[in-house]
Amino acid sequence: MSDASAPNYGLTSSSEVLLTSEAGDKLARKDNINFYCGAVDTGNIIRVRPDVIKQTLHGIGSSFTEASAFVLAHLDEKKRAEVMNRVYGEQGANFSLARTPIGSTDFSVEGKYSYAEVKDDTTLSHFSIAVDQDGFSVDRYPGIKDTGFDLLPMIRQALEIKQGQQDDDFRIVASAWTAPPWMKDIEDWYQPGTAETTHDGIGGSLKPEYVETYADYLVRYLDAYRQQGVNLWGLTPVNEPYGNNGNWESMHFTPESQRDLIKRYLGPKLQQGGYRDIELFMLDHGRTDLEQWADVIYADPDSAKYVSGAAVHWYESTFKVYEDILERVHDKYPQHSIIHTEGCIDDLGKDAPPGVLDPEGYKESGWFDNDDFWWNDNASDWAYSATWDGVVAADHPMYAPVHRYARNIIVSLNHWVSGWIDWNVVLDARGGPNHVGNYCGAPIMIDTSTGYVYYTPVYHVLAQLSKTIRPGDRAVQADKNIITLDDDAIHASASIDDAGFLSIQVLNTTKRPIHYALQLGAQYAEVVIEPNALQTLRVPLK
């Protein structure tokens, strides 16, 4: 953009600068920045183009799981309400998005449950969601303080907090990990691999005669939740259709078999069942698979007409965002949106270098109540030490959890992703419960033996992003020119609301302050972002 064509927004200063940092800032207000007329063409530059409007955003959020509800059931009513308000209240993170499972996952207390437990019940006459609201017995779980609290009560409490808020646009996506076993060819929840081939387990696929029944099952779930006052906004046919190596509940689809499910059964049944407006997202798995699935499901008009967009996860790498794939898919299919539905610090404590973490001593020297863990390269992932075919070790180095979250969100929103959902919002101090031992990190972790609540740095980062990226905001073009820095040193994205306020998100992954120029049209500001920090600048356009 030349100086002559650059708009002058009449800026004087920002209205707000927020910072969350390794130094201890938590959504801390900092001094406003001043703007000056002119253009900057040297040094580190972030250029924001408010005139280049991109996708409509749904905001930031986390997920409801049975594991989260179980942990919260260990708190008394007052303390639990405090945590829930810190997550969903206007004075807290004010999350606008959420995800919830349809049936059991690895983050279920005991797992292996569905809503249609009677074999060959093709009419689903025994369908019931009672398991989502029957609570936890004190006899079985002595630490429980509220025996009636469960997944569905947790969702209801979040909805109650949202009611009456000025901005109460709260959207929940539902995903099934598997159909009931009797609908699948393996007639089981999953089948792990042998000790020698741990990656060769399977989740099984739908039997041909039960494909339509499974579509009915998903619609029946939507009906049951609607009857309980929970109207789901989004749906995915299954979580991670390529499976998880048979380690926990899963079910396989190919792009072609999911296309056929959608166009022959699920799409028509959603429309016939009164769910014409539900957002149906295909895939719900890795970003590297997105283009292949889009070329099958979007290219078929009979399936594409039912599909709003694609859901993606982040597990192919601990640092890559795959923005090139996001861009290609958007360019080919601009009418279909992209939403991120799952990301977490998986395999918490696994493969940790000696002295960094002790999985059995996590309260003393590990991730629990230890902000240093979250801001530095201490976390590994599922593939950190994997040796089987297809795993590229260079894609899975140790990483800083805060960086992985903030980088992925900022870069994703800058490349057509419309919303970003974390996995479990609350877990215990170990990273569970998880019925197969797949412990993971969460924004909030609670010592169920004492009731101590640890709000991790990831919580504060998500809160800062959520409070300044709201449903209905529009992403705008944001580019960086950082010739003197490593490309990963700084990341930026921007969005604008209906009132004309820009929210500019900047991440500094380095251990030193970074000076940069923020260019907005024909005006600029000289800005410093502190070391290892997430900075949000709110700028009113006049």
List, for residues 522-538, the tens digit of each pLDDT value. 999 999 999 999 999 99
Strands of 162-203 (E only): list them.
Answer: 171-176
362 lies in which domain range? 58-468
pLDDT higher than threshold 70 for residue 28: yes
Burial group, residue 7, by CB count within 10 angstroms (0-12, 13-18, 19+): middle
- Burial letters for 524-533: b for 16+ Cβ neighbours within 10 Å, e otherwise? bbebebbebb
Residue in this structure with the two tokens 């989740």, named with its chain if needed: 203
Query: Considering the domain boundaries, does residue 273 fall inside one?
Result: yes
pLDDT band (50, 70, 90) for residue 168: low
pLDDT higher than threshold 70 for residue 372: yes
Last residue of a domain, one of 425, 445, 468: 468
Residue in this structure with the two tokens 């993971």, named with its chain if needed: 440
Which residues lie across from 507 on neighbouring strands? 491, 534
State residue 511's pLDDT score.
98
State residue 6's pLDDT score.
86
Nearest-angstrom CA–CA distance, 438 and 423? 13
Query: Considering the domain boundaries, does residue 11 fall inside one?
Result: no
State residue 358's pLDDT score.
59
* Percent with pLDDT over 70 in the chain: 96
Q: Which residues are within 8 A (CB) of 182 and not within 5 positions of it... i.e. 6 or more apart?
A: 119, 120, 210
Query: Are 383 and 521 in the same domain?
Result: no
pLDDT higher than threshold 60 for residue 330: yes
State residue 349's pLDDT score.
82
Per-residue DSSP letter, 183: G
Strands of 118-193 (E only): list them.
Answer: 171-176
pLDDT band (50, 70, 90) for residue 92: very high
pLDDT higher than threshold 90 for residue 134: yes
Query: Are 226 and 245 in the same domain?
Result: yes
Residue in this structure with the two tokens 């936890």, named with its chain if needed: 136
Q: What is the CATH number of the domain that holds 168?
A: 3.20.20.80
Nearest-angstrom CA–CA distance, 173 and 101? 9
Tokens of 452: 């101590």
Query: Considering the domain boundaries, does residue 192 fall inside one?
Result: yes
Q: What is the pTM of this model?
A: 0.96
Query: Are 390 and 493 in the same domain?
Result: no
Query: Are 152 and 301 in the same domain?
Result: yes
- Residue scoring higher pLDDT (193 or 243): 243
pLDDT higher than threshold 80 for residue 497: yes
State residue 249's pLDDT score.
98
Query: Considering the domain boundaries, does residue 490 fall inside one?
Result: yes
* Amino acid in position 158: A
Query: Are 164 and 77 in the same domain?
Result: yes
pLDDT tens per residue across span 74-83: 999 999 999 9
Query: Are 90 and 184 in the same domain?
Result: yes
Mean pLDDT of 255-284: 98
Query: Considering the domain boundaries, does residue 235 fall inside one?
Result: yes
The sign of the dihedral angle between the CA atoms of 461, 356, 432, 173 is positive
Residue in this structure with the two tokens 């292949």, named with its chain if needed: 292
Helix (H, G, I), strand (E, B) or coil at 480: strand
Nearest-angstrom CA–CA distance, 190 and 483? 49
Query: Considering the domain boundaries, does residue 2 fall inside one?
Result: no
Query: Are 464 and 489 in the same domain?
Result: no
pLDDT tens per residue across span 140-155: 999 999 999 999 999 9
Q: What is the CATH number of the domain that holds 481?
A: 2.60.40.1180
pLDDT higher than threshold 70 for residue 357: no
Is the CB of residue 340 less than 8 Å from the CB of residue 412? yes
State residue 522's pLDDT score.
93
Nearest-angstrom CA–CA distance, 530 and 526? 13
pLDDT higher than threshold 90 for residue 361: no
Query: Are 508 and 425 in the same domain?
Result: no
Mean pLDDT of 305-323: 98
Tokens of 332: 């080919």
* Percent with pLDDT over 90 in the chain: 89
Mean pLDDT of 319-334: 98
pLDDT band (50, 70, 90) for residue 345: very high
pLDDT higher than threshold 80 for residue 495: yes
Cα-based angle 485, 541, 417 (whole degrees, multiple of 5): 55
Query: Are 91 and 225 in the same domain?
Result: yes
Query: Are 31 and 71 in the same domain?
Result: no
Query: Considering the domain boundaries, does residue 177 fall inside one?
Result: yes
State residue 5's pLDDT score.
74
Query: Are 104 and 163 in the same domain?
Result: yes
State residue 1's pLDDT score.
41
State residue 304's pLDDT score.
98
Last residue of a domain, one of 468, 493, 523: 468
Nearest-angstrom CA–CA distance, 302 and 259? 9
Q: Which residues are within 8 A (CB) of 92 and not within 5 positions of it... i.e. 6 or more apart?
A: 85, 86, 463
Nearest-angstrom CA–CA distance, 244 and 198? 11
Main-chain dihedrals φ then ψ at residue 163, nearest 5 degrees: -60, 135
| Count of the separate structural domains present in the chain | 2
Task: Give the DSSP H or E segment for 445.
Answer: strand 444-447
Q: Which residues are within 8 A (CB) of 433 and not within 5 positions of it... i.e. 6 or more apart?
A: 67, 70, 71, 107, 109, 427
Query: Are 524 and 445 in the same domain?
Result: no
Is the CB of residue 67 less than 8 Å from the CB of residue 106? no
Mean pLDDT of 336-355: 86
The upper half-sphere exposure of residue 113, i.e. CA atoms within 13 Å in the direction of its Cβ, equals 17
Query: Considering the domain boundaries, does residue 101 fall inside one?
Result: yes
State residue 2's pLDDT score.
42
Last residue of a domain, one of 429, 444, 468: 468
**Range name among 10-14, 302-306, 362-366 with the lowest pLDDT average:** 362-366
Mean pLDDT of 171-198: 89
